[in-house]
Amino acid sequence: MSTSGHEKVETNLGLMLILVILVISVGGLVQIVPLFFMKHTTEAVEGLKPYNALELTGRDIYIRESCNACHSQMIRPFRAETERYGHYSVAGEFVYDRPFLWGSKRTGPDLHRVGGRYSDEWHRVHMINPRDVVPASIMPGYPWLAENQADADTISKKMEMLNIMGHGYTPEQIENAPKELEGKTELDALIAYLQVLGTSIKAGR
């Protein structure tokens, strides 16, 4: 009685093992090799730009003061969230966020679409004493940010490092970065960062 090819594979452990490895290898190569020829796995949304020197400094202050412990930056595609915060977040908005600040807990509101929602002066008052604008707020104040000068010594080096990861800063932007921070406080930087959050999707849609 003749044996089919299928039966040969089933009854020959060595042959089956070789074929399994071959199939896994081919499948893996099909998924992995194209990535070596792609500059980005996620395309930036239209209108998105890398953070400028002041915004980038503000982002670092946002992280330093643990703002991301109480505020998320990820609007989920649920009606309750989009009606309150705006358009749901999309992957292309985060290509310049290293690290991303999506968060997993909301003691305060999501901030991903806060850019342009309030004036600079509102943010200034709110950061110094939140209860002056939101009486029921449990957020602590950050009055020292209005006194501390923005760090201009390391900003160029930060931008050079981000360039290695594809942020696309020009030599002129890197060279002029310290000048952008002259006379600016940490509060100025943080407000600049907050005012740019979520604005690219409005420009792109």
pLDDT (tens digit per residue) in 136-155: 999 999 999 999 999 999 99
The pLDDT value given to residue 96: 94
The pLDDT value given to residue 33: 85
Q: Whole-prediction pTM value?
A: 0.81
CA 174, 180, 185 angle in degrees (round to 5)? 130
H/E element holding 153?
none
**What band does 52 get if pLDDT is binned at 50, 70 and 90?**
very high
Higher pLDDT, 15 or 35: 15
Hey, is 149 helix, strand or coil? strand
The pLDDT value given to residue 107: 94
Q: Residue 199, CB half-sphere, CA atoms under 13 Å: how many?
A: 14
**What band does 204 get if pLDDT is binned at 50, 70 and 90?**
very low
The pLDDT value given to residue 35: 75
- How many C-beta atoms surround the C-beta of residue 200 within 10 A? 20
Between the CA of residue 70 and those of 90, 124, 134, what are the distances in Å? 21, 19, 16
Higher pLDDT, 26 or 41: 26
**What band does 202 get if pLDDT is binned at 50, 70 and 90?**
low
| Dist. CA 53–CA 57, nearest whole Å | 6
| Dist. CA 32–CA 37, nearest whole Å | 10
Asked if the model's pLDDT at residue 203 lies above 60, the reply is: no
**What band does 5 get if pLDDT is binned at 50, 70 and 90?**
confident
- 43-80: b (≥16 Cβ within 10 Å) or e: ebbeebebbbbbbbbbbbbbeebebbebbbbbbeeeee
- State percent of the chain over pLDDT 90: 77
Asked if the model's pLDDT at residue 22 lies above 50, the reply is: yes
DSSP string across 99-119: S----S--SS---TT-TTTS-
- State percent of the chain over pLDDT 70: 95
Average pLDDT score over the chain: 91
**What band does 38 get if pLDDT is binned at 50, 70 and 90?**
low
- How many C-beta atoms surround the C-beta of residue 174 within 10 A? 18
Asked whether the beta carbons of 30 and 78 are under 8 A apart, the reply is: no
